[in-house]
Amino acid sequence: MSYDAFRHFADTWGLALLVIVFLLMLVFIFRRGSTEKYKRAARIPMEAPESPADSDQKINTIKAEGAGAPRASSEREDRT
């Protein structure tokens, strides 16, 4: 297949494929019954049970108690 033939094929059928994919995406987004799903998803940030400051404190607490936290001197292994 020559470059010109490939380019002609890509120009026509590639455009047609992209238009079909775009139209299928629109149909999927605006299908019946999806409105409530999208409204629920849009409310998720507003219904967060905690403030970001509380979340940061919990993360810092987990980091302090979990892996990577400095151990007390009594817990350290002696490497002699």
Query: Dmax over Cα atoms in the chain, in whole Å?
Result: 76
Instruction: Please state the pTM of the whole predicted model.
Output: 0.47
- Containing 37, the helix (H) or strand (E) segment is helix 34-43
Per-residue pLDDT, 24: 97
Residue 66 pLDDT > 90: no
In sign, the C-alpha dihedral spanning 33, 35, 41, 43 is negative
- pLDDT classification of 1: cutoffs 50, 70, 90: confident
The residue extents of the domains of the chain are: 3-65
pLDDT digits (tens, 9 = 90+) for 12-42: 999 999 999 999 999 999 999 888 888 988 8
